[in-house]
Amino acid sequence: MKRLIKINKHYLTIFWIVFIAVIDVITRHNAQLYFDPDKTFWVIKGVLGLTYRINYGGLLGLGSNWSYFNLSSIFISVFILVISFVYYSKLHQYLTLSLRFFFILLTASLLGNLPDHIFLGYARDWIVWFGPGVANIADYCTFASFFLLFIGLLLHPEVTWKRFREYNSSSLKKQLGLPYMQSSRNIKQDKNL
């Protein structure tokens, strides 16, 4: 008789986050070592190419003229990561598959960008595409994560809002330290008791 191996979905989620972030960091490092910044190797002419660029800004070079962008992006990324893991640990049972992949891709993109911004002061980009700017894997993960968020909310609005209403009316808010999100009617009812 065969025993089925039960895989914990939390470990699987953390595995995919770390795997994608590590692949992103490795590909950035290899792009810096092996690609010439002055030349582009076209995989598909005019559509997809490989090169190496330094990006002092954010996603696709946005904010590169702001002198404190690097420091603020580090603080914002760490803040979003902490908030994401706190909420994921409390609300993971409410996530649909697309929202779980949204969490995985967004977290992996933030973790992939952090080493560059902390240790180098810039991001290393290496994928040339037909759109604006030069990107890396973290940029594509960010785009894909927001697309999955949109799809998840569009395809499963009843699940998402039903779960949100359950969360809003449960003691889970107190576990998260959010008792002040109660409506004024609930506060009046609590005072009358």
Instruction: With respect to residue 2, please indicate whether it lies within any of the assigned structural domains.
Output: no
How many other C-beta atoms lie within 10 A of the C-beta of residue 46? Answer: 9
Instruction: With respect to residue 186, please indicate whether it lies within any of the assigned structural domains.
Output: no
Instruction: With respect to residue 183, please indicate whether it lies within any of the assigned structural domains.
Output: no
- Asked if pLDDT for residue 1 goes beyond 80, the answer is no
Question: Where on the phi/psi map is residue 189: left (φ > 0), alpha (ψ -120 to 50), or beta?
Answer: alpha
Q: Name the maximum alpha-carbon separation found in the chain.
A: 73
Instruction: With respect to residue 191, please indicate whether it lies within any of the assigned structural domains.
Output: no
pLDDT confidence tier of residue 173, bands split at 50, 70 and 90 = low
Between 66 and 153, the more confident residue is 153
Strands (E), 82-187: 123-129, 134-135
pLDDT computed for residue 169 by the predictor: 59
Instruction: With respect to residue 161, please indicate whether it lies within any of the assigned structural domains.
Output: no
Q: Poorest-confidence range of 17-26, 104-113, 122-131, 155-164?
A: 155-164
The answer to whether residues 144 and 105 touch, using CB atoms and an 8 Å cutoff, is yes
Instruction: With respect to residue 168, please indicate whether it lies within any of the assigned structural domains.
Output: no
pLDDT computed for residue 99 by the predictor: 80
Domain that holds residue 55: 9-155
Instruction: With respect to residue 14, please indicate whether it lies within any of the assigned structural domains.
Output: yes
- With a CB cutoff of 8 Å and minimum separation 6, the contacts of 95 are 88, 103
Instruction: With respect to residue 171, please indicate whether it lies within any of the assigned structural domains.
Output: no
Q: Determine the length of the chain.
A: 193
Tens digits of per-residue pLDDT, 82-123?
A: 888 877 777 676 677 888 888 899 999 999 989 998 899 888
Distance from C-alpha of 90 to C-alpha of 86, rounded to nearest angstrom: 7
- Asked if pLDDT for residue 182 goes beyond 50, the answer is no
pLDDT computed for residue 181 by the predictor: 45
pTM summary value: 0.74
Number of compact structural domains in the chain? 1
